[in-house]
Amino acid sequence: MKTITTSIAALLLLTGCDNAQTSAPQRPLPEVGIVTLMSQPVSVVSELTGRTTAAMSAEVRPQVGGIIQKRLFTEGDTVKAGQALYQIDPSSYRAAFDEAAAALKQAQALVAADCQKARRYAQLVKDDGVSRQDAEDAHSTCAQDKASVESKKAAQESARINLNWTTVTAPIAGRIGISSVTPGALVTAQQDTALATVRGLDSMYVDLTRSSADLLRLRKQTLATNSDTLSVSLILEDGSTYSEKGRLALTEVAVDESTGSVTLRAVFPNPQHQLLPGMFVRARVDEGIMDDAILAPQQGITRDAKGAATALVVNASNKVELRKLETGDTYGDKWLVLSGLKAGDKLIVEGTDKVTAGQEVKAEEMKAIGGNA
């Protein structure tokens, strides 16, 4: 009887265990929202900062010294190349020119007399009318007088140039700035302080800076060109977009050792003189087209403690993988992914805080994420 009772108790215990196992619910897989990435052509645009400079700029400096008699322009006016700007007292320079002119006339008179004598002696020496030595001396004197005339001509030309330099003219056409001197001021030849500065404003340079690392990254990318490649648009200090487009003219051949940056120069037409030298601007440079670019929603990209970009993707086994990425610029609400993701990858954009790498998940495709790139 005791054996039967024990058997029944054991049977009831097993039945209870089976019921317990059957009633224990299976834990559901965590659900995540994914976006299946696709490659697409993307126009690669770099946004850089810089400042404007005049395409042509010339400082006005005197070539001779003296007292400023007149200022012949209005500050801020547009001047033409060669236009008179200042008049320096020409008295001493006119006297020097007149003296050089008189010396030239004297030398020319000596040439006429001495060379005529040399020609006469050349005839007389044939008939032994004069000695050969006298004839040679007369010929030598004539030659020296001719050389003296050339020297006096050069001296007169130098005096003429100095006299002309007493009228200080505009070296280029453009807008002239503030004058640093007034009538009565003493100026000296090639002084350090400019009298004024003339800037040509019809076209402007925009000098932009880019890190050398970015330049290397761009050169590694295979970019197709189009008609807009290397075109540049400007965003002005007030946030407005400049109406004229420019072109990238050159990239500096050396890296600035103090900043690790490279200077790029763009050229812009400036017909309305809206751009002024020294303005701070932001420029968007069209670098070309990346044919098979990957644009990933920003909410699927995170940064680790070191600032490196990472993403979670669902693999073919429905398990989570952690990817380390290299990202480029942003396009709307998306990152341009340079490495780490490819077309067909299922990027987790919702539920990333509920899963870890290696965990099996249930993935649900999201119909739309954010706005357009």
Q: What is the 3-state secondary structure (H, E, C) of the chain?
A: CHHHHHHHHHHHHHHHHHHHHHHCCCCCCCEEEEEECCEEEEEEEEEEEEEEEEEEEEEECCCCCEEEEEECCCCCCEECCCCEEEEECCHHHHHHHHHHHHHHHHHHHHHHHHHHHHHHHHHHHHHCCCCHHHHHHHHHHHHHHHHHHHHHHHHHHHHHHHHHCCEEECCCCEEECCCCCCCCCEECCCCCCCCEEEEEEEEEEEEEEEEHHHHHHHHHCCCECCCCCCEEEEECCCCCECCCCEEEEEECCCCECCCCEEEEEEEEECCCCCCCCCCEEEEEEEEEEEEEEEEEEHHHEEECCCCCEEEEEECCCCEEEEEEEEEEEEECCEEEEEECCCCCCEEEEECHHHCCCCCECEEEECCCCCCCC
pLDDT of residue 350: 92
How far is Cα 63 from Cα 161, in angstroms, rounded to an integer?
10
pLDDT of residue 134: 83
Q: How big is the CA angle at 130 (ends 124 and 135), to the nearest 5 degrees?
A: 80
pLDDT of residue 221: 67
Q: How many C-beta atoms lie closer than 10 Å to residue 218's C-beta?
A: 16
Contact 296, 366 (CB under 8 A): no
Per-residue pLDDT tens over the stretch 139-193: 898 899 899 999 999 999 999 999 999 999 999 999 999 999 999 999 999 899 9
How far is Cα 47 from Cα 287, in angstroms, rounded to an integer?
10
Which of 42-46, 155-159, 223-227, 356-360 has the lowest average pLDDT? Answer: 223-227
Q: Which of 72, 83, 67, 59 is nearest to 166 (CA)?
A: 67
Over residues 88-116, the mean pLDDT reads 93
pLDDT of residue 114: 85
pLDDT of residue 65: 96
Over residues 310-318, the mean pLDDT reads 92
pLDDT of residue 102: 95
Question: Given a cut of 80, is residue 370 above it in pLDDT?
Answer: no
Q: How many C-beta atoms lie closer than 10 Å to residue 314's C-beta?
A: 21
Which of 29-33, 74-78, 173-177, 267-271 has the lowest average pLDDT? Answer: 29-33
Please, which pLDDT band fits residue 291 given cuts at 50, 70 and 90? confident
pLDDT of residue 366: 85
Over residues 344-358, the mean pLDDT reads 90
- Computed over every residue of the chain, the mean pLDDT equals 87
Per-residue pLDDT tens over the stretch 207-250: 999 888 877 777 766 676 665 667 899 999 999 999 999 998 88
pLDDT of residue 26: 66
pLDDT of residue 254: 86
Most confidently modeled of 51-60, 131-140, 324-333, 364-373? 51-60
How far is Cα 361 from Cα 315, in angstroms, rounded to an integer?
10
Q: Which two tokens stand for residue 18?
A: 């089976």
Residues 6+ apart with CB under 8 A from 317: 360
pLDDT of residue 73: 96
* C-alpha neighbours within 13 Å on the C-beta side of residue 238: 4
Q: How far is CA 155 from CA 69, 93, 97, 293, in A?
A: 26, 12, 8, 72
Question: Given a cut of 90, is residue 97 above it in pLDDT?
Answer: yes
The backbone region for 358, taken as left when phi is positive above 0, alpha when psi lies in -120 to 50, beta otherwise, is: left
